[in-house]
Amino acid sequence: MSVLVSGGAGYIGSVTAEMLLGAGRRVVVVDNLTRGHRSAVPEGAAFVEADVRDSARLEAILGEHGVECVMHFSASSLVGESMTDPGEYFGNNVVGVIRLLEAMHTQGVRDFIFSSTAATYGEPPEVPIPEDAPVRPTNPYGESKATAERILRWYETIHGFRFAALRYFNAAGASRDHGEDHDPETHLIPLALSAAAGERESLAIFGRDYPTPDGTCVRDYIHVQDLADAHILALGKLGETKENAFNLGNGEGYSVLEVLSAVERVTGKQVPAVDAPRRPGDPARLVASSARAKKILGWRPKRVTLDEIVRDAWAWKQRFPEGYGD
């Protein structure tokens, strides 16, 4: 079976492509390389530089490579950026999905694994968050993913698509060869590692006045290889369950200050930090209940402690100090 991995030159897509190849699947990566890196595409995967919004191109790729399933990672995914440029988020994440689904429909491909997000929930009324919590996003990024999930349900009802929407909490860590390299980098763990390494003057702590134990935001960090595992399991279960949405997290929340302590423990270096205002769109606390993914997909995260996750991110950074170098 051939799997099309859109965004396979990006962080989570490249790790998943690597694991799909390891599991004996044929993989074709489609990426427009605006944020991805050509050298992140794992060896053994076919690569086509294309945008998912280019339906005609996508139709041709689906046909030529005998694709039976699409894993859709390519998206704009920054909460802060979505609060200043909503058009980019609805264009790339909603229009992009529709064009991709239409190309699939034309080619008779109906299996779809979708990268969704905890940001669909907004400020959740209960934590850990179950999948049936209200979907009330507090930023256009979450809104774009929630909208795409609803669109997918119609393709399921009308065209017989089979899909899983995997709602990631905070992806972190790295495999040996694939890690996080964004430009600009906005994520907490890579920024803290970079501050510890002396590459940046300090890390800004976005808000200390949240209703959390130490006043900083709490997030659920999940190892990127555990996320990749869940994609492969979800692919194997398509059509076997009525459930489409699955949270992927560890079920443990860590504050920004706890993450900084973990980075200091793992690196043995201090993280210079300064207080900064809240980042617009940030909910106070996002922690997953992943009971459904465990029960239905048989998912078992293997690298669960914050220190393990940070250690792998640090190891990758030391192995690739310039990231992917492009």
Is 282 a binding residue for ligand UDP by CB under 6 A? The answer is yes
Q: Is the peptide bond before 137 cis (omega within 30 degrees of 0)?
A: no
Give the span between the Cα atoms of 257 and 16, in whole angstroms: 30
Whether the Cβ atoms of residue 21 and residue 309 lie closer than 8 Å to each other: no
24: region left, alpha or beta (phi > 0 left; psi from -120 to 50 alpha): left
Q: Find the binder of ligand UDP among 219, 223, 285, 317 (CB under 6 A).
A: 219
DSSP state string for 219-261: E-EEEHHHHHHHHHHHHHHTTS-S--EEEES-S--EEHHHHHH
User: Is residue 202 close enough to count as binding ligand UDP by CB under 6 A?
Assistant: no
The contact pattern for ligand UDP, residues 53-72, with x = CB under 6 A and - = no contact, is --------------------
- The three-class DSSP label of residue 16 is helix
Under rule CB under 6 A, residue 136 binds ligand UDP: no
Q: Is 141 a catalytic residue?
A: yes
Span near ligand UDP by CB under 6 A; candidates 4-12, 36-44, 180-188, 230-238:
180-188
Tell me: does residue 75 bind ligand UDP (CB under 6 A). Answer: no
35 binds ligand UDP (CB under 6 A): no
Residue with Cβ nearer ligand UDP (95 or 204): 204
If the CB atoms of residues 5 and 191 are measured against ligand UDP, the closer one turns out to be 191
Please tell me whether residue 163 binds ligand UDP under the rule CB under 6 A.
Answer: no
Start-to-end CA distance of the chain, whole Å, equals 31
List the one residue out of 224, 238, 229, 248 whose CA is nearest residue 166.
248
106: which 2 tokens?
A: 């034309």
Task: Indicate whether 170 belongs to the interface with ligand UDP (CB under 6 A).
Answer: yes
Residues in the interface with ligand UDP (CB under 6 A) total 15
205 in contact with ligand UDP (CB under 6 A): yes
Which residues here bind ligand UDP, judged by CB under 6 A? 79, 170, 186-188, 191, 203-206, 217, 219, 256, 279, 282
Catalytic sites, residue numbers: 141
